[in-house]
Amino acid sequence: MKPTTLEDAVALTKKFTTRPSNEELLKLYGLYKQATEGDNETERPGGFDFKAAAKYSSWMAFKGKSKSEAADSYIDLVAQLSSKYL
């Protein structure tokens, strides 16, 4: 079952019975941030905060994608992942 809205897709991720891979989680994060906030205008995290840096990089990977395109991509990704994790 493919979710039809960003909110439905987010709700579906909470029903996953197994945790997606870190790569999949980062892609979900980046698409979600792009869909809800648009291009990342924040400064890159410094130091040894590798988790924050990975999240920053994931969001930056979608720079230039419109909010609606990012939302559609997020929904598609959740639909794809739901077959693995539900």
Q: What is the pLDDT of residues 2-41, one digit of tens each?
A: 899 999 999 999 999 999 999 999 999 999 999 999 999 9
| Lowest-confidence pick of 40-49, 54-63, 67-76 | 40-49
User: Do 78 and 35 contact (CB within 8 A), yes or no?
Assistant: no
pLDDT class for 47, splitting at 50, 70, 90? Answer: confident
Q: What is the model's pLDDT at position 20?
A: 98
Domain residue limits, the chain: 6-85
Question: What is the third-level CATH fold of 6-85?
Answer: Acyl-CoA Binding Protein (1.20.80)
